Amino acid sequence: MLDPVLFRAHLADTADKLRARRGFALDVAAVEGLESERKAIQIRTQELQNLRNTRSKAIGQAKAKGEDVTGLMAEVAGFGEELKASETRLAAIRAELEGLLAGVPNLPDVSVPDGQDETQNREIHRWGEPRGFDFSVKDHVELGELKKELDGETAAKLSGARFTVLRGGIARLHRALAQFMLDLHTGEHAYVETNVPLIVNPESMQGTGQLPKFEDDLFSLQLGEAKRYLIPTSEVPLTNLVRDEIVDASALPLRFTAHSMCFRAEAGSHGRDTRGMIRQHQFEKVELVSLCRPNESDAEHERMTRCAEVVLEKLGLPYRRMLLCAGDMGFSAQKTFDLEVWLPSQNTYREISSCSNCGDFQARRMQARWRNPESGKPELLHSLNGSGVAVGRALIAVMENYQNADGSISVPEVLRPYMGGLTSV
């Protein structure tokens, strides 16, 4: 959530900056109307509170002198009714304002390019040369079906569209990728391995910005009278580990990684990537989350993105880093780097990791703070999250880039210890 001061003191400027976000227009009139009413009622509420306190004190003094306090008590009773009504209305206005502002995305960082969609993202650099093939390239679906180890048809029978059953060598390769990523991020990149719940409460979803705006993209369930949600990414539970906490400065930065199932309804992607494992309702990801001092978040963002790049380099997968334009960023991000891996069957790069600096946007929603030793006061943390990387998409990239003419798939050298020494599947 953005700082409310931006809407009170810099509303026009904030609205102008938010226009860079695709499809978003701040309802300035609604904010102005609510803010005007809030100020008026807040002033009147404070006046009534002061009057009540003054008259209550006068009643006490009059009683001490044995004087008649009937008139004063009647006056206080009248103040009390108006005060109660004012406090009730003030709470309702604040809730309405909070609900309105909860649907406002983060402001783009000054380094983020203008633009409305992915065509206006900026390439930062590339790594690796796409492999040349002397045979007809197959996509991951054809390779999996040839080996009868990637099965969308059976998954559809079990669950419906956008699910996949993996078997045999491909299932083992999928598992190896996740283990390799976890070992890399914990052993070389100093992230703390964390096992988190796959089901979270609404407060956790609100804390990272999935609620209230994106409820249609979530899978929910009812546990008794309580509503819960399947996580769309382990960013949600990992970031919420510090919700309503004040972290000691000496503990920062906090760096967490988790391998988890992820669940997304893909409500807005009808007709997109319906073939294979590119866009699934259920998938696996190794997530990276950092929580740090505000003045360190830019460097932490670069570090996190580099950690994800190392995964692809060790796997020998060509990729490029893209700086997303304002219109293509996620709701909570103020700056995002996407890593796009080369897919031979599509003759293009496709997203495999997204690393975002959210500034204090999520921390304000969560009241996640650190104690600044210089001031001794609690201040908002900065939060960052990134894919390190999406396991299913890494599997697709390995299958396609390491395919052989006979349909077999060579195992990247770095994965062979996790595959019992196998060199191909």
On whether the CB atoms of residues 29 and 21 are closer than 8 A, the answer is no
Specify burial of residue 294 (Cβ count, 10 A radius: 0-12, 13-18, 19+): middle
Rounded to 5°, angle at Cα 341 from 270 and 165: 55
Res 70: pLDDT:
80
On whether the CB atoms of residues 180 and 418 are closer than 8 A, the answer is yes
Q: Which residues are catalytic?
A: 264, 279, 351, 354, 393
On whether the CB atoms of residues 389 and 312 are closer than 8 A, the answer is yes
Q: Which residues are annotated as a binding site for L-serine?
A: 233-235, 264, 287, 385, 387
In this structure, the number of other CB atoms found within 10 A of the CB of residue 86 comes to 20
Position 304 pLDDT exceeds 90: yes
Residues in the chain: 425
Res 273: pLDDT:
80
Query: Mean pLDDT over residues 151-173, rounded?
Result: 97
Three-class DSSP category at 292: strand
Q: Give tens-digit pLDDT for 1-20.
A: 999 999 999 999 999 999 99
Backbone angles phi, psi at 85, to 5 degrees: -65, -40
How would residue 82 be classed by pLDDT, with cut points 50, 70 and 90? confident
Q: Give tens-digit pLDDT for 322-365.
A: 999 999 999 999 999 999 999 999 999 999 999 999 999 999 99
Residue 220 gets the label, from left (phi > 0), alpha (psi -120 to 50) or beta, of: beta
Res 171: pLDDT:
98
Burial 49-73 (b: 16+ CB within 10 A, else e): eebbeebeeebeeeeeeeeebeebe
On whether the CB atoms of residues 202 and 227 are closer than 8 A, the answer is yes
Residues 6+ apart with CB under 8 A from 94: 38
Matching residue, tokens 């703390």: 192
Position 175 pLDDT exceeds 90: yes
In this structure, the number of other CB atoms found within 10 A of the CB of residue 148 comes to 10
Q: Which residues are annotated as a binding site for ATP?
A: 264-266, 351-354
Helix (H) and strand (E) counts in the chain: 12, 16
Instruction: Please give the Cα distance from 124 to 93 (Å, whole number).
Output: 45
Nearest to 394 by CA among 250, 182, 244, 213: 182
Q: Which residues are annotated as a binding site?
A: 233-235, 264-266, 287, 351-354, 385, 387
Res 178: pLDDT:
98
Res 272: pLDDT:
76
Instruction: Please give the Cα distance from 150 to 144 (Å, whole number).
Output: 4
Res 423: pLDDT:
98
In this structure, the number of other CB atoms found within 10 A of the CB of residue 16 comes to 12
Q: Calculate the alpha carbon distances from 90 to 45, 51, 143 in Å.
A: 8, 18, 62
- Could you tell me the two tokens for 289? 């989350």
What predicted TM-score, i.e. pTM, was given to this entire model?
0.92
Q: Calculate the alpha carbon distances from 234 to 193, 262, 288, 301, 337 in Å.
A: 12, 7, 9, 18, 19
On whether the CB atoms of residues 285 and 237 are closer than 8 A, the answer is no
